[in-house]
Structure 1
């Protein structure tokens, strides 16, 4: 063991690779840094050492176990599984709601996924953002969860898809627009048109109408879009439920696997142009890809193929789903 003095520091060097004085000093530096939240510069001035030495001592405190850092993930997310799915599909972010039990009611799973999505949206939105909203039972659940959180930052809300006839008023695109507008306290941009019209000429005419054109232009300003994923095989899509039979049959012949905000996709995520898609009044695939943050929300075994098609399509860059679906995406 060697005793000595180096500058202003008295040290004792043990036979190991870490000096005893370093261990004591590392403990002191770590306390000042992690507990008292002092900057490296402040610590350096207080102890009479360099900022570089402070940084090295912090590393030493971590490496030798003086400081133990534990990362506590929110209980409603599975970080490891999320990261594996994110890397596999090259997404910006994936949030996975872990399973509560093997026999969980699918409705409860869907509710937890909606709650996770609502919390995420509440964290990424900032005052002055523009929020885009599609439609569907999943987004109905997100709206309910947002309301329970007490609202969202003040921002404009844009209806991204025309109205679809349904007996459930809560699923109307305009009703979801109203609920999200109330949650944000901002302005709303409704799309006063049906999603499907009789022919292409009618669709072109409606898109040029002043109020509709204004909303479709506002889509280009959306910062965050929240989107549901519909499945065609097996059928689990509100769009399939209300489309004319001839359009559904054509979609099946063309190999439609999923629909996202009115965009039809095949199993590999390629967009399918059909007679129905030409008659739709909704956000285009090009507009979706231009939105900085597009959040796809879906869960359940019946949606797995549709979710895969959607993440492959590039229409979304963030996915919120359940544990079983995430595991299936990795198989």
Structure 2
């Protein structure tokens, strides 16, 4: 067979005894794939080089793909804008920035691109080996986890869900589907994020299961969270909001991170609601060793900028258009 650099090696034996020998057809499929993808030859030229028919070349290339001998890597130069990433690092004190460009224009396309970018960031950081990954559930975080399962070389020891999986119409079914198919432990938050009173929240946090969950969250190597619109109707229990809290959110909030509504300067909106909200506080976000904000889109620019200005995230995954807007608005 051939090595990755195209030089010939013995196809009759395994490498260091770790792999079984290739079949003659697999070896021929590899040769066809290298001529097609490495040298850009047409199927007719490949047929002539390998002394096979043209229809056989098509089948050999299909075999190479099916066997996993061929992997497609798309390198988008727009996602490697050094001036833009460096500008974001300097302006917001970020440790790392990952830019993505969605292949489509819909919300699901953006979430998928953000998810892949966040998975690649986590993989490159190598922070998840044997450690828990703490998350505040969102559509972008869900896409990250779905992408990470197939992309991470090092998978987390467990997943600790801090909140965000509850919706006004009930639990997010995507979370339950994800939890059912994962192969590592998933620790779901013990209660809804918003409580009827501060006393109720404190009492719930004193219970044994809540304390155990909090201990797991503190040990997590990474906290991954997204950003959400300033819409109180998206809360699992919007009926718990007071009239004054609703007015404050409507008039001053630009969005939400980890269940906390923020104004344009990253300060808490509706502080009484924040006091009744379980999960990491904004002070917790600043103090954690590694926090990753994965969010993008025109409607999220204001809340992303607010969160970054207050150092609630140490790392950022966002789309190219949002990144440009973040710096343009600061200029």
TM-score by length of 2: 0.66
Alpha carbons of structure 1 residues 137 and 106: separation in structure 2 relative to 1, 3 Å: closer
User: What's the C-alpha RMSD, in Å, of the aligned pairs?
Assistant: 3.1
Instruction: Choose the corresponding residue for 2:315, options 311, 314, 318.
Output: 318
Query: 1:194 aligns to what?
Result: 192
Distance 1:230 1:291 in 2: 21
Are the equivalent residues in 1 in contact too, given 2:226–2:257 (CA < 8 A)?
yes
SS in 1 for 2:194: coil
Consecutive unaligned residues in structure 1, runs of 5 or more: 1-72
TM-score by length of 1: 0.66
Alpha carbons of structure 1 residues 299 and 241: separation in structure 2 relative to 1, 3 Å: farther
Are the equivalent residues in 2 in contact too, given 1:250–1:274 (CA < 8 A)?
no
Instruction: Choose the corresponding residue for 1:79, options 78, 81, 86.
Output: 81
Query: 1:141 aligns to what?
Result: 143
Q: What are the Cα deviations for residues 83-123 of structure 1, in whole angstroms up to 9, with x where unaligned?
A: 221212111111111365xx834432332122111222233
Instruction: Choose the corresponding residue for 2:238, options 240, 243, 265.
Output: 243
Q: How does 1:208-287 map to 2 (within 5 A)?
A: 208-232=206-230, 235=231, 239=234, 243-244=238-239, 246=242, 249-252=246-249, 255-272=252-269, 274-287=271-284
Residue 137 of structure 1: how far off its partner (Å)? 1.4
SS in 1 for 2:191: coil
Distance 2:110 2:192 in 1: 31
Larger CA deviation: 268-277 vs 240-249: 240-249
Residue 273 of structure 1: how far off its partner (Å)? 5.1
Consecutive unaligned residues in structure 2, runs of 5 or more: 1-73
Q: What are the Cα deviations for residues 158-195 of structure 1, in whole angstroms up to 9, with x where unaligned?
A: 222265234475467x638836x925x2x443321011
- Residue 113 of structure 2 corresponds to residue 115 of structure 1: no
Q: What are the Cα deviations for residues 273-318 of structure 1, in whole angstroms up to 9, with x where unaligned?
A: 5222121121222322222111101111111111101111211111
Number of residue equivalences:
251
Larger CA deviation: 129-138 vs 318-327: 129-138
Residue 147 of structure 1: how far off its partner (Å)? 3.1
Distance 1:330 1:82 in 2: 10
Are the equivalent residues in 2 in contact too, given 1:289–1:316 (CA < 8 A)?
yes
Are the equivalent residues in 1 in contact too, given 2:119–2:152 (CA < 8 A)?
no
Distance 1:132 1:107 in 2: 23
SS in 2 for 1:107: helix
**Which structure has the bigger radius of gyration?**
1
